[in-house]
Amino acid sequence: MLNNTISAATKTSYSSGYKIFTRFAVMSGYNLHSDYLPSRLILRCIAYCHGIRNIQYGTIRSYLAAIRFYRLHQGFPDPFRDMNGSYIPQIEMALRGSRRLNISPTKQCKPITTDLLHKLIVNLRAGVFNPYVDILMQAALTAAFWGFFRSGELFPDKFSPQMHITNANVKFDDSIIIIHLKTSKTDLEKKGVDVRLFKNGTLICAVYALTNFARLRTNNQDDSPFFLLPNGQPLTRRVFVANLRHLLLRLGIQASSYSGHSMRVGAATSAAASGVPDHLIQVLGRWTSLSYLRYIRVSNNVIRQAHHKMLRFSL
């Protein structure tokens, strides 16, 4: 049951972090079968990750969460509490130190907002790759944007019909398309959710693009991936990002700052800029916490307008 308390993606990340810790513990001569995990070992592991492996603060924190998860899973006491059950403050202090010493800043992916999405679609309609891939990318870009999708939800690198979106999971109507998302990062119970995309009559309409692509698909079996390449293989995140960056370069835009996540970031940013309430952005993006606020990029113009509004209010 404990295995099901975290998502598959988190499990993969935790496994990687715990392997690094166990190797370090063995090199340090520590017996991993012991009930007690000395705090000095955790502190030395933090120093090792930061100073020797050059691992960033956020990843180190994730590794510590992995240590705690696996130790509790194995029936051992909480490694971040002392013999009296109190939290060990030195661990948090060491983490804060690693954050302050981070030399390279965290790289944020740039958002693809409505205006940039419009330019991408115009390019694709003029012809970029080949007729099939051009229509596929129009469908992929607009669906990812209007559905606030994580790129891995639509274009997984390893497709599974039990977990990912198949032909049977996309339902068409005249003015709406419903995509059934079977599972996601925040859907730990795998209940699934229906994501609704509405017709909007613009060049960046997802309903129009998806309907066009559905007519071209070469495999109409229910369990086939919905987003198919011309060779019948699923569109992966790697291919999607490569095509996206190619399009951006054609527009004269530095493409390295954009990723598969740029669609989700752009959707949140566009929604916030257009005045969509915060609670509704949270629902649209299927966020279970306030983490959606990290996705909203605020331009200088928006900040300037906010300052003017504040001035008017104070006069």
7-100 and 114-295 agree in CATH topology: no
Q: State the SS3 of the chain.
A: CHHHHCCHHHHHHHHHHHHHHHHHHHHCCCCCCCCCCCHHHHHHHHHHHHHHCCCCHHHHHHHHHHHHHHHHHCCCCCCCECCCCCECHHHHHHHHHHHHCCCCCCCCCCCCCHHHHHHHHHHHHHCCCCHHHHHHHHHHHHHHHHCCCCHHHHCCCCCCCCCCCEHHHEEECCCEEEEEECCCCCCCCCCCEEEEEECCCCCCCHHHHHHHHHHHCCCCCCCCECCECCCCCECCHHHHHHHHHHHHHHCCCCHHHCCCCHHHHHHHHHHHHCCCCHHHHHHHCCCCCHHHHHHCCCCHHHHHHHHHHHHHHHC
8 Å CB contact between 111 and 265: yes
* Mean confidence (pLDDT) of the chain: 83
Task: Return the biggest CA–CA distance within the chain.
Answer: 69
| Residue indicated by tokens 């113009």 | 301
Query: What is the topology classification, in CATH, of domain 114-295?
Result: hpI Integrase; Chain A (1.10.443)
Res. 107: pLDDT tops 70: no
Segment 176-210, tens digit of pLDDT = 899 998 877 665 566 788 888 888 889 999 999 99
pLDDT bracket for residue 5 (50, 70, 90): low
Share of the chain above pLDDT 90, in %: 30
Segment 23-33, tens digit of pLDDT = 888 888 888 88
The neighbour count for residue 307, using CB atoms within 10 Å, is 10
Instruction: Give the model's pLDDT for residue 233.
Output: 92
pLDDT bracket for residue 48 (50, 70, 90): confident
8 Å CB contact between 66 and 15: yes
Res. 311: pLDDT tops 80: no
- Going across the sheet that includes 170-172, the strands are 170-172, 176-181, 193-198
Res. 102: pLDDT tops 70: no
Res. 4: pLDDT tops 60: no
Backbone angles phi, psi at 255, to 5 degrees: -85, -20
Share of the chain above pLDDT 70, in %: 84
- Residue 87 bridge partners (DSSP): 81
Instruction: Give the model's pLDDT for residue 315.
Output: 40
Spans of all domains in the chain: 7-100, 114-295
Instruction: Give the model's pLDDT for residue 310.
Output: 40
CA distance 315 to 304: 17
Segment 60-84, tens digit of pLDDT = 888 888 898 998 888 888 888 877 7
Higher pLDDT, 135 or 275: 135
Query: What is the topology classification, in CATH, of domain 7-100?
Result: DNA polymerase; domain 1 (1.10.150)
Segment 218-269, tens digit of pLDDT = 888 889 999 999 988 999 999 999 999 999 999 999 898 899 889 998 888 8
pLDDT bracket for residue 127 (50, 70, 90): very high
Residues 287-308: what's their mean pLDDT? Answer: 57
